[in-house]
Structure 1
Amino acid sequence: MQYTHLGRSGLIVSRLVLGTMNFGTETSEAASHAIMDRAHEHGINFVDTANVYGTRPGEEPTEEIIGRWFAAGGGRRERTVLATKVYLPTGEWPNESHLSALNIRRAADASLQRLRTDHIDLLQMHHIDRSTPWEEIFEAFAVLRQQGKVLYFGSSNFAGWHLAQAQEAARDRHFLGLVSEQSRYNLMTRWAELEVLPAARHYGTGVIPWGPLNGGVLAGVLSKLRAGGAARGSTGRSAVALAEHRDAIEAYEKLCAAIGEQPAHVGLAWLLAQDGVTGPIIGPRTVEQLDGALRALQLTLDDDTLAELDRIFPPPAPNGARPAPEAYAW
């Protein structure tokens, strides 16, 4: 396993992040526990969840599944860097969503209870809260840290200027601020390169890409369909992306075949090669899928391959001349 610091912090995390959104939804508790056990066998120590995963009717709360895994002992909690999130609604009453000091406190305590632990390593804002001042948010975070309930704080789905706002507000309070930003980022969705990645690099905030294979579209969807198999990237919103970008996806899969690598592994390896990326979130539904993802850590894409990927999936540049954020200047 490869490890790195999470942003500018001293916290050391694996370069693949185990995402748990499927736990309790598409993956049973027993299978979820097997995946987490295998992740530790591979040296993956970074586990990401959220207080809203598995909370729809007929699902099992993901945090509770993880909590029962921790309760089995054997050093599971001690070897895990645990990340969860706060913001999205957990009920229908006021103050059961967003980032008021009241909801932050209640949500953190509820997550601790479900996760059966005395602290959260990384608490992430699931979304920007445009109605709560940063002074209130960081004061609530400081209390949690003083109580020993949360060690580090991060964000998710922030714009670059939101990261700047947050970090400057934290600096005014002499607070460490955000050590990570969880952002949608993959070969087909590269707008984070315009401002989010430059801002994160400037402030020493580690970037954790979610959706690294764009809903399965970058996982060899065309090859799987031609082989007559089921392909995750051929349904729902992914089907729209497939229809709109079929030529590019065809070229991508041909490139992967030419270098003898699976498309999913190339997509993850490309993210691992990007400056400022801590590690992508992988969301395996089976142990076999988890095992396969490890290939990305062994894969080094040469300059020619990286250039061809840029040709197939061009980086965003408003003026087309310079890399972001200088693309905005003349």
Structure 2
Amino acid sequence: MQYTHLGRSGVRVSRLCLGTMNFGEMTDEPTSFQILDAAVEVGINFVDTADVYGGPQPPDMEKGFGLSEEIIGRWMAQRGSRNDIVLATKVYQPMGLGPNDRRLSALHIRRACEDSLRRLQTDHIDLYQMHHIDRFTPWEEIWQAMELLVQQGKIIYVGSSNFAGWDIATAQGAASQRHFMGLVTEQSLYNLSSRVVELEVIPACRHYGLGLIPWSPLGGGLLGGVLKKAASGRRAGPAMKEKIEQYRPQLEAYEALCEDLGELPADVGLAWLLHNPVVTAPLVGPRTTEQLTQTLRAAEISLSEDTMRCLDEIWPDPGGEAPQAYAW
């Protein structure tokens, strides 16, 4: 396994990040344990979750809420593997029906962190990520809450998720005024079929030294050989069928290129992300150990300049970076 720095921080993480959104909902606890064991065994030391993962969100909230964190916590307690991983979780999403059970008020950040620590059965979170921008809470309040958690040793680094480029700039400006490190990562939707973050988010990450953690790196399965799977009889859901028809010409060209390369489409899609120097680690969310093993090939693939140009032709970028993409 290859390793890189977590943004501009000194800590090093694996080039693939184990996403655990399926734990507790799509993947049962014994299988989740097997996936975590297999990930550590192959050298993956970066594990991502969120307080909201594992079950239904309000207003349902019947059972399983926060279960992903609980599963990881029990795994660490039983395996004694806390020091083997860089553990990331998130705050923002609704965790109850009350008016203060969500977003990024200092009150909710404090309560949510304590709850995550309890579920994870640990005394600290390595990367505490804001799951979304909060347009109603001032940065002075957010950073004061995060600074206190750092001072208390409950979190080490802070990251963002689903931020716009100007949100990153605003956050870092406010952090700098407080002589605080601020953000070290941004987690965004990014894959060959969804490249809008190349306009402003990626330039902002590069400027401020944030490592990008792409979520949905295969477009929800679109880039995982969906045409070949359909030809073999595997059925796709209505939403995927609609996407397939929308992108059919690109998919045909893409899967043909991958076949010429002798590589699986999923591996090429992940390898393409890893060629971007701003990317720290794509999030992979296997539901089985076999799926996890299949993703490891991506870290070994080196794509030629010709192949990168072909991929750009099949899946065009948004025109470059802003403002050059739409102005001189």
TM-score past 0.5 threshold: yes
Please, what TM-score do these two structures have when normalized by structure 2? Answer: 0.96
Residue aligning to 2:226: 221
* Counterpart mapping for 1:111-130 below 5 A: 111-130=116-135
Letter in 2 for 1:112: L
CA–CA separation in structure 1 for the residues paired with 2:3 and 2:77: 26
Moved more, 6-15 or 59-68: 59-68
Residue aligning to 2:245: 243
Matched, 1:274 2:279: no
Letter in 2 for 1:24: G
Residue aligning to 1:326: 324
**1:228 deviation in Å?**
1.2
* Counterpart mapping for 1:19-98 below 5 A: 19-56=19-56, 57=62, 59=64, 61-74=67-80, 76-98=81-103
**1:325 deviation in Å?**
4.5
* Counterpart mapping for 1:255-270 below 5 A: 255-270=257-272
Q: 1:151 aligns with which of 131, 150, 156?
A: 156
Residues 9-57 of structure 1: CA distance to partner in whole angstroms, max 9, x if unpaired?
Answer: 1111111000001111111100000000000001000000000001314
* Contact 1:6/1:13, CA 8 A, preserved across alignment: yes
Residue aligning to 2:256: 254
CA–CA separation in structure 1 for the residues paired with 2:287 and 2:38: 12
Letter in 1 for 2:22: N
CA–CA separation in structure 1 for the residues paired with 2:307 and 2:43: 28
CA–CA separation in structure 1 for the residues paired with 2:304 and 2:35: 31
CA–CA separation in structure 2 for the residues paired with 1:127 and 1:284: 24
Task: Mark the CA change 1:170 to 1:323 in structure 2 (over 3 Å): closer, same or farther.
Answer: closer
Residue aligning to 2:9: 9
* Contact 1:214/1:238, CA 8 A, preserved across alignment: no
Residues 79-136 of structure 1: CA distance to partner in whole angstroms, max 9, x if unpaired?
Answer: 1100000001000101100000000000000000000000000000000000000000
Matched, 1:196 2:201: yes
Unmatched 5+ stretches in structure 1: none
**1:323 deviation in Å?**
4.3
* Contact 2:213/2:282, CA 8 A, preserved across alignment: yes
Task: Mark the CA change 1:290 to 1:325 in structure 2 (over 3 Å): closer, same or farther.
Answer: farther
Letter in 2 for 1:96: D
Letter in 1 for 2:48: D
**1:235 deviation in Å?**
2.0
* Contact 1:182/1:207, CA 8 A, preserved across alignment: yes
* Contact 1:198/1:325, CA 8 A, preserved across alignment: no
Residues 253-279 of structure 1: CA distance to partner in whole angstroms, max 9, x if unpaired?
Answer: 111011110000000000000130001
Residue aligning to 1:301: 303
Letter in 1 for 2:23: F
User: Percent same amino acid at aligned positions?
Assistant: 60
CA–CA separation in structure 1 for the residues paired with 2:155 and 2:305: 41
CA–CA separation in structure 2 for the residues paired with 1:266 and 1:39: 20
CA–CA separation in structure 1 for the residues paired with 2:169 and 2:250: 34
Q: 2:139 aligns with which of 131, 134, 139?
A: 134
* Contact 1:67/1:115, CA 8 A, preserved across alignment: yes
Letter in 2 for 1:81: V
CA–CA separation in structure 2 for the residues paired with 1:143 and 1:195: 30
Please, what TM-score do these two structures have when normalized by structure 1? Answer: 0.95
* Contact 2:200/2:321, CA 8 A, preserved across alignment: no
CA–CA separation in structure 1 for the residues paired with 2:317 and 2:194: 9
Task: Mark the CA change 1:78 to 1:236 in structure 2 (over 3 Å): closer, same or farther.
Answer: farther
**1:73 deviation in Å?**
3.3
Letter in 1 for 2:226: V
